[in-house]
A and B are shown apart, each in its own frame.
Chain A
Amino acid sequence: MHKYHNPQPPEGINTSQTHPLWVFVKLFVAIVIVLTAVAWLLGQSGAWLAARVPYAQEARLAERYLSDSVEKNSNSQGKKHPMQGYLESLVSRLAPHMQLPKGMRIQVHYEAEPVENAYATLGGHIFMYKGLLAKLPNENSLAMLLAHEMAHVKLRHPIQATAQSLAISTGIKYLLGFSNMDLLGNAGLYTQLHFSRTMESAADEQGLQAVYKVYGTVNGASDLFVTLQQLRDSDGSDDEVPFFSTHPLDVQRIESLATLATRQQWNTTLKTTPLPARFGEWLSQ
């Protein structure tokens, strides 16, 4: 038997001696850097390309994916909700002062749900929720909210944010090897768009300008952000108030809008316009 023997091999010759946690940290940091860079590049490219999509094409896309929610909320039993009519009249007053591109139509939709939110999405659709409207103190702040959302539409932010999200999620999924990708099947994507802070600031400025032109003062416009700040403080969580999620801090917004008003020499002292007498009644309908 001496001819055949199995010497005990030394340990560790077939395995790595580097600690697995150290390997994990190195690889994880590296992949986070790579994915962040790729996501940024994809997002920028997506937004750049989307801004060049004709608005008519965006409107067709919106009709395809938003038709259900638009039909449900814009017309109940053939009779228009008084709040809907009021919001539409405000849009009509603001629109001429916003230099909207030719063919761009703003469609506001009143949502009688206690959600403290308002958002603009593809195809010029703006959704205003009862929960947020109920908290606004005057018409100026409501006009500011509407003008802010209209400015998003004018600046093509919804299509840019959509393309940004799609480009990032598709690219990252492709990079990580997910094959089952439903690119345009997620309707939720269009109702939960995240605009960058730069986009929000631009919408604030254009919105304030429109409010000034309609009311002759910017007084009351910043009440919108005071209200939002109060809602944030009372909720204690951004999750409960979707409107807050990616918006710049309200204090900063108020300050930057005040600076803009001073620079433009816009009136800040004229009396604010109250909400219609039946506003509360409309909210409860």
Chain B
Amino acid sequence: MSGESFQLIYIIGLLVIAYWVGSYREKRHYQSIIKREYELNRLPAVNLKTPPEGNFQHELVMGNVTISVDYFKRFLAALHAFFGGRVTSYETLLDRARREALLRMKAVASEKQALLVLNVKYETVSIFKGAGKNIGSVEVLAYGTALMAARNNAQVS
């Protein structure tokens, strides 16, 4: 078998494995995200900066996640980069990363028995160490100010 044939089979093999494993893991991740979003829906996280009236304790809460893009998505993104347009292969990656980061932030706030998370913001970083223009992994940090009931048991209205 010539070197070129071996290289072609190697790339096709990687694409097939990456697509199969990547799709399976993405599906599982989305199922987990939807389930936890439903569970944590009782804790609002908003981007308003003004706290409601009342007496609260407040604390910075954050959640971050780093998700790597699989070989298939990277290959597809390279094709997208050639022709332009929506890089659809990265849309699910960023969607999952933002929702997961927010969920982790909410989980931290929930442990602190927060009533509300204010001033929620995202920071997104592409981690591509040495990979040129390719996006290797993406890190998303979600942070906000958690409001907890003060000792006098204040209510948010």
- A residues lining the B interface (CB < 8 Å): 1, 3-6, 8, 11, 14-16, 18, 20-21, 23-24, 27-28, 30-31, 34, 176-177, 239
Contacts and interface: CB of A to CB of B under 8 A. Distances in A.
B91 A15 contact: yes
B157 interface: yes
A23 B116 contact: no
A16 B19 contact: no
Contact of A14 (B2, B19, B34, B91): B91
B89 interface: yes
Contacts of B19: 20-21
Contacts of A1: 44, 115-116, 156
* Interface SS majority for chain B: helix
Contact of B45 (A6, A11, A31): A6
Given A11-B34, A31-B79, A23 B2 contact: no
Given A8-B41, A15-B88, A23 B76 contact: yes
25 contacts: A1-B44, A1-B116, A1-B156, A4-B48, A4-B116, A6-B45, A8-B37, A11-B34, A14-B95, A16-B91, A20-B72, A20-B73, A20-B76, A20-B88, A21-B19, A24-B72, A24-B75, A24-B76, A24-B79, A27-B83, A28-B79, A31-B79, A31-B83, A176-B82, A177-B133
A185 B73 CA distance: 34
Contacts of A34: 82
B86 interface: yes
Contacts of B37: 8
A44 B108 CA distance: 64
A16 B82 contact: no
Interface residues of B, number: 34
Contacts of B79: 24, 27-28, 31
Contacts, number: 64
B41 A6 contact: yes
Contacts of B52: 3-4
A30 B73 CA distance: 17
Contacts of B38: 8
Interface in B70-92: 72-73, 75-76, 79-80, 82-83, 86, 88-89, 91-92
B46 interface: yes
Nearest to A178: B132
Contacts of A5: 44
Which 7 residue pairs are nearest across A and B when measured between Cβ atoms?
A: A16-B88, A27-B79, A4-B44, A15-B91, A14-B95, A15-B92, A6-B44
Q: Which of A3, A6, A14, A16 lies at the interface centre, i.e. has the most chain B CB atoms within 10 A of its CB?
A: A6
A16 B77 CA distance: 13
Given A5-B44, A8-B41, A27-B80, A18 B156 contact: no
B116 A30 contact: no
Q: Which of A20, A176, A177, A239 lies at the interface centre, i.e. has the most chain B CB atoms within 10 A of its CB?
A: A20
Contacts of A28: 79
Given A3-B52, A4-B44, A11-B34, A18 B115 contact: no
Contacts of B46: 4, 6
Contacts of B133: 177
Nearest to A177: B133
Contacts of A239: 2
B8 to A, nearest CB: 13
Interface in B19-75: 19, 23, 30, 34, 37-38, 41, 44-46, 48, 52, 72-73, 75
A5 B41 CA distance: 8
Contacts of B157: 3
Contacts of A11: 30, 34
Given A14-B94, A20-B73, A30-B83, 12 more contacts: A4-B116, A6-B41, A15-B91, A15-B92, A16-B86, A18-B88, A20-B88, A23-B76, A24-B72, A24-B75, A31-B79, A239-B2
